[in-house]
Copies of this chain bind each other. A is one copy, B any other.
Amino acid sequence: MTDPTDSPVPPPGAEITLRDVARLAGVSVSTASRVINRTCGVSPAYAAAVQAVLERFSYIPNNAARALVRQKTRTVGLVVPTLSNPLFAPSIAAIEATLRDAGYGLLVACSQRAPERELEQVRMMIERGVDGMILTGSHHLPATLGLLASRGVVLATQDDPAACAGALSVAMQDAAAMATVIDALVMRGHRTIGILTGPVENTLPIAERLRGAIQRLEHHGLPHGAGHIMETADYQAASSRRAARTLLDRVRGLTAIACTGDILAIGTIMECRRRGLRIPQDISIVGCGDTVMSQFVDPPLATIHLPFGTMGEQAARRLLCVMAGRPLPPTRPLPFRLIQRHTLNRMPRVPPGA
């Protein structure tokens, strides 16, 4: 009690540790720990004393020490292909919110669509002891998956239509979404429909969207050959404009263009405008994704709303379930719906090309 190191106030620079708390409250470290973790069996008097010290010094537990003994960090890792493109922004936001509500921290990295980089980042995250990981997309190195499995890290994937992780995989109904676009056009009388798609290779969701569109055109007995389909080189506005031009030149009597992405649709709108085609009187244009941009284009773009926020939330929620040992709720397909803005109309009586 007369120990000179036994000062009532901890030195200002150093952080207050559990031992300090215990000493200040006049209990043992074990008891202090029990109060913090709400483990039963602490007398009210001691509990109150510890609680008071906790608040007075705003004690923050050291997660590293905790992690060391518990082998859990209450942190999960997320790797997305890109951060600068706003596509995944709602998904990231939802994941962050869901995890935060559950007391988890979120470590974020960006793979720039390079699986090797993704592996490196997964290593980094395992090093930091993540309890779970969310991977985005469908292109992962076997080594990545193996590493995760060997370290006992729970893995969830999002936006991977191939569903490599089984029950913990949540993806859009990309094919069905584009089938809905085709149906909406056919229902409005369109018979000559062009398809504009982004680069299909290495992006399964886009490939799925294309597949869904083609299949549905076939189902309706409409032309769906290579002549009616145009693939852009990338997602720049200029490329999609160029592709739209080719498509409009190539297919006579085109009254509608279905695009597998909103940016492509925006490029198409621009090109149609340039040609003096009125939208939607002369030609209908439908996108897919409902990204922020689509409501700001002129005219506002009809598109399929894909619930990226819900996707992220579900991925996080299911991950939390598994980490907590709770049973997984049944998988339900992510809903999507057609947003009727101003670029979708009945087929004109006289096709502009005729």
A89 CB within 8 Å of chain B = yes
> Are A96 and B110 neighbours in the complex by a CB distance under 8 Å?
yes
CB-nearest residue of chain B to A308: B84
Range class of the A interface residue count: 35 or more
A84 to B152, CA, bound (A): 31
Q: Which of A84, A89, A93, A295 has the most CB of B within 10 A?
A: A84
A15-B151, A107-B105, A293-B293 as given contacts; A64 in contact with B73, CB under 8 Å: yes
- Minimum CB–CB distance for A243 against chain B, Å: 15
- Contact digits for A81-99, partner B, Cβ 8 Å, 1 yes 0 no: 0111110011011001100
Does A154 reach chain B (CB closer than 8 Å)? no
Is A252 part of the binding interface, using a Cβ–Cβ cutoff of 8 Å? no
CA–CA, A60 to B151, complex, Å? 10
Interface assignment of A65: CB less than 8 Å from any CB of chain B: yes
* CB proximity to B under 8 Å, residues A256-272: 263, 266, 269-270
Chain B residue contacts of A194, Cβ below 8 A: none
A273 within 8 A of B: yes
A238-280 with Cβ < 8 A to chain B: 263, 266, 269-270, 273
Within 8 A of B (CB), among A76-127: 82-86, 89-90, 92-93, 96-97, 100, 105-110, 121, 123-127
Q: Which of B110, B128, B151 contacts A93 (CB 8 A)?
A: B110
| A89 proximity list for chain B (CB < 8 A) | 83-86, 89
A106 with B105: in contact, given A64-B64, A86-B292 (CB under 8 Å)?
A: no
Q: Which of B84, B96, B273 contacts A83 (CB 8 A)?
A: B96
Contact yes or no, A107 B106, CB < 8 A = yes
A331 contacts chain B at the CB level, 8 A cutoff = no
- Between A and B, 9 residue pairs with Cβ closer than 8 Å are A84-B93, A86-B86, A89-B89, A105-B125, A105-B128, A107-B107, A107-B108, A266-B296, A292-B293
Residues of chain A touching chain B, judged by Cβ–Cβ distance below 8 Å, are: 12-13, 15, 58, 60-65, 67-68, 73, 75, 82-86, 89-90, 92-93, 96-97, 100, 105-110, 121, 123-129, 147, 150-152, 237, 263, 266, 269-270, 273, 292-293, 295-298, 309
